[in-house]
Structures are given as structure tokens and as C-alpha cells.
Amino acid sequence: MTRVVVLGAGVSGHTAALYLKKKLGRAHEVVVVSPNSKWNWIPSNIWVGVGRMSATKVVFPLAPIYRRTGIDFRQAKAVGILPEGDADDPRGAVDVVSTAPGTVGRTERIRYDYLINATGPKLNFAATPGLGPDGGFTASVCTPGHAVDAAGRLAATIEKLKAGIRQTLVIGVGHGSCTCEGAAFEYAFNVEHELRAAGVRDRADVLYLSNEHELGDFGVGGMTFSTRDGQVTSEKWMASLFRERGIRAIVQAAPTEIDADTITYRQIDGSTSTQHYDFAMLLPPFGGVGLTATDRAGVDITSKIFAPSGFMRVDADYRPRPFEEWTAADWPRTYQNPEYGNIFGVGIAFAPPHQISRPYATPDGLAIAAAPPRTGMPSGAMGKVVALTIADMILTGATVPTRSASMSEMAAACIASTGTGLFRGTAAAMAMSPIVPDYSKFPSTGRNAKETTGDIGLAAHWVKRMLHTAFIYKAKALPFWWLIPE
């Protein structure tokens, strides 16, 4: 019996585990290790964060799903990988620490034949002093708990506005190297929508603070959309949305320090500025979750398997080169670790080979560069192809990966909510193909002009709401779940 261990039960890990079990049946073991007992549909945390959805609607317990599907679930946190095993057993192993009630802190060494690292990001609030809700001053919507806290702070701000007290709300990123600007954009527009709904918009200043070089960059170097009115850049499209909603944007910015009511930030011209706030939601930068790796002799080989960021090295071209020399072909296709062929890294956990957006820095070298996003759609697709590759290796004896899903070939759709409500909601629907621009195939913009589109309206909000229901249905492994695409 072969054992596949999946670290992480988020979008990519949970998808991988479900496909593995579907393919492998009872003949082989699938073990999922994840510290949280619940699955979270993270995109809908935005609606929890404005008080329009309860946290219970974006989570469900994993154990019953895994019991029903025959997946062995360990509520635990992985801390170290032993790709060559130890003196007792040459199979690979992973050291985990239990987070389950009753056994918290208990350690276990789990052997594997194949390992998928889908541990997502470490939310690195410590990167900027004063950032984050736990020990800092700003709100976050990265977890359901953070989003509930953000909703409470927003409600208190709206109460002050109702009492006639002007308020400044700052939404964006909390560090120069952040990714996920799309989520900050969504939250800014949802907050603005709520302020209007509460009848207090005229007393509120809403600011968007971002490390993007220009609006609409989103860490993918921006997009050129085909719209009903012809081609338009995402920068122009976003600038018009921001103008329409009266949201002031500060871009090319890296927050460096935050206190109870002031954000200090630097910009790429080298200047330092301060911004007062009454309410702030700033996303943290992401890093790897800090797994270590050790060889059979007990020697630390973490740097062989993981990049300095903590993300896992996979089949990408990591050779350092100037930005102009990076190509779409540098991006990974199979997510296999080059050192150990039975280890794969998917979703946010794999190390991107380079920036997609041109990286900028202040004259004295402070990086202000939107990092490449790995959104839900590609994360799910990677989880699926790696699961199918491993199933092929186990069931047909394949010795090399049989499937691929490169972000430089994959299209992605992103529907960014700009306000919720059955009849008054809106969303910006953006599609790009491919995610990483490929100038060898599409010399002018790097992307297929017909398949890179942008549209905004109520219909897109309905699609976003339907996706919430569809993805939770799929994640619950309800009948025919595999028919719902990633």
C-alpha cells in the first residue's frame, strides 16, 4: 500500500487530496496534515469583513468530509521533512506537531511514499512593526477570525460617522513586498459600498494604499483588456473605477511602521510620508510556513529544498537574471521538487522563479514590488494535476510527471467583489490568458487579447455569489463534486 501525505487542507491541498482518493480508492492511503479543523473559503472572508456574511458560512469541519471519503486526517502542523527518511526507515517522513484538542503538542513522524506541500502562506505581520490585529493596530481579512474582528472595527467606525465624526479609512497592503492586492482592492470597494449603504459616505475619506507601480497591476504586470469599447489597460480601467467611487489611491508605497493612528510609508522616489487613519485593513506579506528539511545523516538541507522565502523549490528556472531576460518558460509545469522526485509543492507553497510585475526599489534599495499572486483557480489546478500525476505514478508506474499546469499557459478568471447585495451588488470580472505574460507567443502585451477581458456589473456579483456556493459544494465532496471545475 502506497501512502501519499498532503500538507495543508486549503484550496490546493484539499483539491489534491480529494482527487487522489477518488483515483486511488481503498488500495492506497491518502493522509492530510493540517493545523485547522475547518476548511475556509478565503475569498468570501471579504464579505465577513464588512459584516455581510457570518463566519459560519465560510467554513466547515474537515473531519466528517475526510471520514466519508476515506482520507486519514491528522489535525497537526508539519514542522520538518526528512526526504531520505531516518536510520529506522528509508522512506521519506514528515515530523508533525498535533494541534488537535486533547493531544496539542504531541509529535509524530509520518512516513510517506509521495509528499505534497500545500501549506500556503505564513501571514508575516511581523515584517512591519505595528501591522496586524494580533499585537499590532490594523485589521486583516486573511482568516475568518480576522474578518470578524475587521467587521467589528468597521461597524464602530460607521457609528462614529453616524455621530458626525469624520473618519479616514485606509485599505491596502502592509509591506512593500506584498501580494494579493486583488483582495485589498475588493475590500476597499466593499467598505466604500457599505459606507454608502449606511448613508455616511460624505463624512468618510477612503484611501487605497498599495505597493503596485500603478493601479490595476495586481502583481501580474497589469493587463490589457478587450472590452465592448475596445482595448483598455487595467490601469485606466481601475483609475476610472476609483474616480467613480471617490477612493483616493496611493501607489508605489511600502508601509514601514504603524502606530495606533498613523501609517509611515516610503515610496520609490525615496520619500517618507505619514498617513493618519481611524480604520485600517492592511494585508501582510506572505512567506513560506518555515518547514525545515534534514537528510538521512541529520544534516540540514532546508536551503536545497526551499528558497530563502521559505517557499518550496519546484521545476522552475531559478537562475538569477535581469528582469528583461526572464521568460514565461521559467515558470514551473509539474511542481516536482528537483532534488526529490516524490515531493511536490503547489499553490502558494511553491517558490515562483521571479516577479511578474517589474520590481522597483527606493534609491537606497528598499524593494517596493507587488509579488506574483497565486490565486484560487491556479492553486486548485496545480493541486489537481499533481494529484493525477502521483496517481499515474502509483497506478501505472510512470517515472516522470504525466500532467502539467503552467501559470504561463493557464488562463485565470478573477471576480473581484466591489460591493455585495442581491440587487445592488457589483463585481469586476477579469480574465487573463495566460497569467504569466508570454511575449514569445503574444508579442504586444504578452497575453491573448481575445481572452483577456474586464467587465463590471451586477451579473458578475451574482457569479461571484454562485461561485461561493459551488466551491463550498465541491470542497464538501458532495455528489459529482469533480464536475465543478477548479
Ligand X SMILES: Cc1cc2nc3c(=O)[nH]c(=O)nc-3n(C[C@H](O)[C@H](O)[C@H](O)COP(=O)(O)OP(=O)(O)OC[C@H]3O[C@@H](n4cnc5c(N)ncnc54)[C@H](O)[C@@H]3O)c2cc1C
183 binds ligand X, rule: CB under 6 A = yes
Q: How far is the CB of 166 from ligand X (least distance, A)?
A: 27
Instruction: Lay out the site mask for ligand X across 71-100 (x = CB under 6 A, - = otherwise).
Output: ------xx----------------------
11 binds ligand X, rule: CB under 6 A = yes
Those residues whose C-beta lies under 8 Å from the C-beta of residue 485, and which sit 6 or more positions away, are none
Q: How far is the CB of 199 from ligand X (least distance, A)?
A: 27
Q: How far is the CB of 27 from ligand X (least distance, A)?
A: 25
Q: How far is the CB of 375 from ligand X (least distance, A)?
A: 3
12 binds ligand X, rule: CB under 6 A = yes
Using CB atoms, what's the residue nearest to ligand X? 10
DSSP per position, 14-47? HHHHHHHHHHHGGGSEEEEEES-SEEE-GGGHHH
Task: Please give the grid coordinates belonging to residue 71.
Answer: 482520507
Query: Strands across the sheet with 253-258, in order?
Result: 253-258, 262-267, 272-276
Q: Please tell me the distance from the alpha carbon of residue 439 to that of residue 460, in angstroms, as a whole number.
A: 30
Task: Please give the grid coordinates belonging to residue 160.
Answer: 462614529
Return the exposure string of 344-371: e unless at least 16 CB atoms fall within 10 Å of the residue's CB, then b: bbbbbbbbbbbbbbeebebeeebbbbbb
Q: In the block, which residue shows the cell 486533547? A: 102
Q: Which stretch binds ligand X (CB under 6 A): 7-15, 255-263, 390-398, 436-444?
A: 7-15
- Tell me which residues in 336-355 interact with ligand X (CB under 6 A): 347-349
302 binds ligand X, rule: CB under 6 A = no
174 binds ligand X, rule: CB under 6 A = no
Q: Please tell me the distance from the alpha carbon of residue 462 to that of residue 324, in angstroms, as a whole number.
A: 40
375 binds ligand X, rule: CB under 6 A = yes
Q: How far is the CB of 444 from ligand X (least distance, A)?
A: 26
Candidate residues 50, 141, 151, 251; the one interacting with ligand X per rule CB under 6 A: 141
> Strands 262-267 and 272-276, how do they pair?
antiparallel
Instruction: Lay out the site mask for ligand X across 250-269 (x = CB under 6 A, - = otherwise).
Output: --------------------
- Tell me which residues in 195-234 interact with ligand X (CB under 6 A): none
Those residues whose C-beta lies under 8 Å from the C-beta of residue 77, and which sit 6 or more positions away, are 33, 35, 96, 97, 99
117 binds ligand X, rule: CB under 6 A = no
371 binds ligand X, rule: CB under 6 A = no
Q: Which stretch binds ligand X (CB under 6 A): 112-120, 189-197, 199-207, 323-331?
A: 112-120
Binding-site size for ligand X (CB under 6 A) equals 34
Q: Please tell me the distance from the alpha carbon of residue 256 to that of residue 1, in angstroms, as a whole number.
A: 52
In the complex with ligand X, the residue whose CB is nearer, 368 or 475, is 475
Candidate residues 19, 35, 112, 158; the one interacting with ligand X per rule CB under 6 A: 35
Q: Please tell me the distance from the alpha carbon of residue 359 to that of residue 366, in angstroms, as a whole number.
A: 11
HSE-up of residue 211 (Cα within 13 Å, Cβ side)? 31
Task: Please give the grid coordinates belonging to residue 217.
Answer: 497591476
Q: Please tell me the distance from the alpha carbon of residue 364 to that of residue 283, in angstroms, as a whole number.
A: 24
Q: Which stretch binds ligand X (CB under 6 A): 43-51, 149-157, 159-167, 230-238?
A: 43-51
Q: How far is the CB of 22 from ligand X (least distance, A)?
A: 18
In the complex with ligand X, the residue whose CB is nearer, 13 or 132, is 13
In the complex with ligand X, the residue whose CB is nearer, 59 or 414, is 414
Q: How far is the CB of 49 from ligand X (least distance, A)?
A: 8
Q: How far is the CB of 228 from ligand X (least distance, A)?
A: 24
Q: How far is the CB of 172 from ligand X (least distance, A)?
A: 13
DSSP per position, 325-348? G--GGGS-SS-B-SS-TTEEE-GG
Q: How far is the CB of 133 from ligand X (least distance, A)?
A: 13
Task: Please give the grid coordinates belonging to residue 36.
Answer: 485547522
Q: Please tell me the distance from the alpha carbon of residue 414 to that of residue 435, in angstroms, as a whole number.
A: 11
10 binds ligand X, rule: CB under 6 A = yes
9 binds ligand X, rule: CB under 6 A = yes
Q: Which stretch binds ligand X (CB under 6 A): 99-107, 163-171, 192-200, 376-384?
A: 376-384
- Tell me which residues in 282-301 interact with ligand X (CB under 6 A): 289
225, 454 contact by CB (below 8 A): yes
Query: Strands across the sheet with 167-173, in order?
Result: 248-250, 204-209, 167-173, 279-283
Q: Where along the sequence are the contacts to ligand X (CB under 6 A)?
A: 7-13, 33-36, 42-43, 45-46, 77-78, 118-120, 141-142, 180, 183, 289, 347-349, 374-377, 379, 414
